[in-house]
Structure 1
């Protein structure tokens, strides 16, 4: 099947590449000429394990192409996917200007039997409005479908090729059949292909992300309570997680969620609810708890130094919002850096892949170190903001020797508190009893 992917960001590039890898003829389109030039040379603008190899293989095989000119490739396409950004406005609503601009660029070139598929996360009603705009622009009815993505950064290729489910919203069964054929190679293990109306598909994306965000904010709030009353959140988490109605997924306490999806989608659904006269109290609380949770590590460090952080040096492990990605959007580590710098502290930081992205923000205000251990040179304490695997089993003797004082503030609960106490560390996690 001939496919055009409008947008070569995270979703568009992964989706287009995986479709090409299953034998389709895919062209990815982007207005950023520099990005397209890099992609043609096999240079991937994002960090995603396995993606570089997949892009190069399919480019060399001729199944995956890149261009800035939609008019050259849209006329022959059976499916035109829209995978452009829908960033957050100041009021929390989704900004759809890029989406509507993309529509205007492709509409004149659509084949009469083409299906336009929105892959971007968009508010309820956007697909219906898209159908109306396409009719105005083309003078005919154009098939529109909603196909929300459920990719996790760091394992997006596995998520796409081995999906839990594929969700599509359509207005005609025949459109669902076209997309079913496209996704058939990825649904060989009886995982469902769910067909519904446009509005239900749009809501499915938001509801899924908002529920996962709710679980994170909930367990973080419970962790904060545990820490005050002398309970251990790890024990509590196990106590509730074995209940099949609850489960363990997304019940790991930490310093808050970040990234491009959860913060934006929670606020966008709040905006949608308010537009329809509904007060989304739970969703607002989810966001409020998360914003406050990102301050936790700084509050702990400031309390340790009795409010005076001037000329103190903090070693920081982890900058990305989660491991296996270089994405720093809404990352808790950035909140910590901001607070530390405001308080007059020095920051020495390391992340396996995200340092260059953070350097663009802070420049020489932060010292970026090539290894985790180098951050410890002259550091008064160590703070951990991202749970990279390479941070889980450090040489604790080296840590103790390099740190001015053996103090660790762990925002991801990577280590066992009793073990750390035996090794002579002051260790403070999230929702754990502090050992000193």
Structure 2
């Protein structure tokens, strides 16, 4: 099949590369000429493990191409995917659909025959209706069906998630569109990946409901972690104890500094706004958003407390800046609030992250960025593990203690065992233990 992917960011590029790896002919479109130029040169605009090799393989095979010319890419396509950004709108938290509707109008001008237009972007309930309305108004002469097909990709594991999904959600009542989408996903269907056909509005809501529920699990275990610290319990044991219940499940029950990234923060806000618009408040999600915002600042205070409640004039080594490992994504990362709280308290911050420092420098210019964990820790009064990159899981604690001025470790991801850190001479603080 011929597939056009409008938007060559995280979702569009990963999806396009994976579709081409299935054997489809895929054209990825982006208005950013520098991004397309970089892709032609084999340079990825994002860090995602294995993506560069996947793109290279399919470009060489002639199944994957890149262009800025949307009209050429759309003409004759069997399916056109909209995979543009939907950031939170400034001021009110609603999803900004500007790019979605701009892409829709350009598709309308370029489409030449029967086509299925698929919203891959995360969009509020009813967006597909508006996309269809625009297409019908602009091109009443063309048979175009509009489908919702949300993505469920985890940054750092996106290729595996795409090729071995828990489920594929497709929102449409149009039989021709269903047939096209079955062909698009046939390689996965043959591998028995379940395809769930639902109404378009239901599909749009599934995406938001899924992310809000996962954000709720994270926030729940973080609050339980605070209770564990107060009563002398161990949150990791609590997580295992409840996670072995199949009704609950063990995933997303790891206590830490709060959720961040490109999805959970904006999607929970967008769900809140949608619920308000329809007069059905979602109090649980509202509490999740508030608790998570508070959580990030509280982790900064936790580090300051480990410094005897006085961070002024002291140096803190922050290990890990991205919101999770195996990505370069700094959007709404807990480190942003944590580092700012340390700077506000008068501390000097030295930081290292394997992939996120280029993005972090623009967001946190008052931080000293280092080339490795031990360089960041040199002369520091305390070291804080904020993101659980593998490279931080087996640090030489003796060497770390030797290069530091103080002997304080704050482990916000519970990477280490307390007795191991104590043997190296550190005063150790973790989360919920």
Q: Secondary structure at the match of 2:75?
A: helix
CA displacement at 1:304 relative to structure 2: 2.9
CA distance in 2, matches of 1:185, 1:243: 33
Aligned counterpart in structure 1 of residue 177 of structure 2, from 175, 178, 182: 175
Q: Deviations over 1:17-53 (max 9, x none)?
A: 1111111111111111111111111111100011111
CA distance in 1, matches of 2:309, 2:418: 24
Q: Deviations over 1:342-367 (max 9, x none)?
A: 2221111111111111112233x211
CA distance in 2, matches of 1:391, 1:303: 22
Task: Name the residue aligned to 1:99.
Answer: 100
Task: Name the residue aligned to 1:362.
Answer: 364
Task: Name the residue aligned to 1:85.
Answer: 85
Q: Secondary structure at the match of 2:185?
A: helix
Q: Is the 8 A contact 2:222 2:258 kept in 1?
A: yes
Task: Name the residue aligned to 2:250.
Answer: 248
Aligned counterpart in structure 2 of residue 206 of structure 1, from 205, 208, 214: 208
CA distance in 2, matches of 1:332, 1:276: 31
Please list, as runs of the form range in 1=range in 2, the aligned pairs for 1:30-429 lying within 5 A after superposition.
Answer: 30-89=30-89, 90-140=91-141, 142-363=144-365, 365-429=366-430
User: In terms of mean alpha carbon deviation, does 94-103 or 403-412 score higher?
Assistant: 403-412
CA distance in 1, matches of 2:2, 2:189: 20
Q: Is the 8 A contact 2:315 2:349 kept in 1?
A: yes
Q: Which runs of no fewer than 5 residues in structure 2 stay unpaired? A: none
CA displacement at 1:289 relative to structure 2: 1.1
TM-score normalised according to structure 2 size:
0.97
CA distance in 1, matches of 2:360, 2:112: 43
CA distance in 2, matches of 1:297, 1:285: 18
CA distance in 2, matches of 1:416, 1:32: 47
CA displacement at 1:189 relative to structure 2: 3.1
Q: Secondary structure at the match of 2:252?
A: coil
CA distance in 2, matches of 1:318, 1:330: 14
Q: Deviations over 1:121-177 (max 9, x none)?
A: 000011011111110010245201000000000011111111111110012122112
Q: Is the 8 A contact 2:76 2:113 kept in 1?
A: no
CA displacement at 1:57 relative to structure 2: 1.5
Q: Is the 8 A contact 1:144 1:171 kept in 2?
A: no
CA displacement at 1:75 relative to structure 2: 1.2
2:14 is aligned with 1:14: yes
CA distance in 1, matches of 2:304, 2:157: 35
TM-score normalised according to structure 1 size:
0.97
Q: Which runs of no fewer than 5 residues in structure 1 stay unpaired? A: none
Q: Is the 8 A contact 2:78 2:180 kept in 1?
A: no
Aligned residues, how many? 431
Task: Name the residue aligned to 1:24.
Answer: 24
Q: Deviations over 1:93-137 (max 9, x none)?
A: 100011111111111221331000000000001101111111001
Alpha-carbon RMSD across the aligned residues, in angstroms, is 1.2
Q: Is the 8 A contact 2:307 2:408 kept in 1?
A: no
